[in-house]
Amino acid sequence: MLPRAERLTQLETLREAFAGGPARADAMARACAPHQAHAAERELLERVPEALACVGALPTADRAEVRAVLATLTSGMIFDLTRFPGEDVAGLAALETLEELDHYTYLVAGCVGPFWTALHAAHRPRLRHWDVREMGTLGVRFGKALQLTNVLRDVPADLGHGRCYLPARELRALGLSPTDLLEAAGAARARPLYRRLLGAALEHYDTAWRYTLAIPRAEWRMRLACAWPLLIGLGTLERLAAHANPLAAAAPVKITRGAVRASLARSVLTVWSDRALAADAARLRRRISL
């Protein structure tokens, strides 16, 4: 793994290259790729110059949208690297407030909602009636729903890597510190905060379903692209809510492959009906007890 300072330097190089500047993305790729243990991610880094060439070849409006969302996503990466200086429990640090957590979920996921909306509205004639600004706002919460689910699922693993996304201010109100979450008893005492965040995630999902159901039924591929992560995310929240102590889970809490396959198969039928798709979402939501 590259030292943190070098990761930040290379990330800034990538940001400059994505923005159309003179930065040498090929040099960045050569510096970073050999340190990546996962073959697919190593190949992705090696092909960054190719990806940049594709961005540069896009029509002007699309290129501007891509560059804008990449700028925000990479700022989220920088936020993460600078906000959490450690690599393990010895350097454990936490976000401070709920507002900071909300901002983080925007930087790394919520920002994709307006981007996705703008591109589809520009290229899909059936969406010409959409209010792009309004739908983009709904799309922000779509991304936040999925990212907050990731945060809630990954708390134990993140703690082991020196990251606590549960805000320190809220933990202090419960008489806790981030290090208390490393023990099962302390993690159990944080359950009231965890349930509040589960509730916040569910509110985001409600908005995300409004977004999905606003997609014309004839745009069934786009509908499925939105419905599938929502169905999987709600299934994950159901299991987190039912877990005795999800903050101290030994293994990641997630929906089973069989449940995923069943949900996806059913959605291929229900995607054509607003009523059926909404009923599936409502049924999943009712099963989540806070």
Can you state the angle between helices 191-213 and 220-242, rounded to 10 degrees? 160
pLDDT at 22: 62
In contact, 10 and 28? CB cutoff 8 Å: yes
DSSP state letter for 110:
I
pLDDT band (50, 70, 90) for residue 173: very high
80 three-state secondary structure: helix
Phi, psi of 289 (to 5 degrees): -105, 125
Look at residue 219 in the predicted model and tell me its pLDDT: 96
Single-letter amino acid code for the residue at 103: H
- 224 contacts 268 by C-beta, under 8 angstroms: yes
- Residues with Cβ within 8 Å of 6's Cβ and at least 6 positions away in sequence, in order, are 31
163 DSSP assignment: E
* 147, 110 Cβ separation under 8 angstroms: yes
Neighbouring-strand partners of residue 93: 163
- Which residues sit opposite 164 in a β-bridge? 94
DSSP assignment letter at 35: G
The three-class DSSP label of residue 164 is: strand
pLDDT in tens, 180-196: 999 999 999 999 999 99
Q: Is the pLDDT of residue 61 over 90?
A: yes
pLDDT tens for 231-287 read: 999 999 999 999 999 999 988 898 999 999 999 999 999 999 999 999 999 999 999
Residue 212 structure tokens: 């999905």
Percent of the chain as helix, strand, coil, to the nearest 5 = 75, 0, 25
Binned at pLDDT 50, 70 and 90, residue 30 comes out as confident
pLDDT, tens digit (0-9, with 9 covering 90-100), for 88-133: 898 999 999 999 999 999 999 999 999 999 999 999 999 999 999 9
Which pair of tokens denotes residue 280? 């599936």
List CB contacts of 92: < 8 A, sequence separation 6 or more.
86, 159, 162, 163, 164, 178, 179, 182
